[in-house]
Amino acid sequence: GAGVSQSPSNKVTEKGKDVELRCDPISGHTALYWYRQSLGQGLEFLIYFQGNSAPDKSGLPSDRFSAERTGGSVSTLTIQRTQQEDSAVYLCASVPGGLYNEQFFGPGTRLTVL
């Protein structure tokens, strides 16, 4: 089937605006992750969803960041009152289950905050 998809591919916004980034995981995958990749850096964990359990939000950098996963499938990452330092590529990954299984990544959303 199809892989992980993310939309939009690119997003340019003005400082102070809110943005929503969408992730469609692979059907049947129970776990979903959001990561942030800043220029020249590795991937920084943001949030983790596993089935119907409460998400692990320990990686969210501030209370301006939030995420939800509806029906155990599609996930939305919301950034409120965007700042220039939020500019990065936001990657989503889904996992078929289990802590050590391969993570299947989407192509990411490049966010630019002017």
Partner 1 sequence: AQTVTQSQPEMSVQEAETVTLSCTYDTSENNYYLFWYKQPPSRQMILVIRQEAYKQQNATENRFSVNFQKAAKSFSLKISDSQLGDTAMYFCAFANSGYALNFGKGTSLLVTP
Give residues in contact with partner 1 (CB under 8 A). Answer: 31, 33, 35, 40-45, 48, 50, 56, 59, 89, 91, 93, 99-100, 102-103, 105-108, 110
**Do strands 10-13 and 109-113 pair parallel, antiparallel, or not at all (unpaired)?**
parallel
What is the full DSSP assignment across 43-86? EEEEEEEETTSPPB-TT--STTEEEEEGGGS-EEEEE-S--GGG
Pick 20 or 56: Cβ nearer partner 1:
56
Least distance (Å) from partner 1 to the CB of residue 60? 12
Pick 25 or 108: Cβ nearer partner 1:
108
∠ CA 62-67-10 to the nearest 5 degrees? 90
Least distance (Å) from partner 1 to the CB of residue 16? 27
Pick 15 or 57: Cβ nearer partner 1:
57
The closest alpha carbon to 114, from 31, 17, 20, belongs to 17
Pick 31 or 113: Cβ nearer partner 1:
31
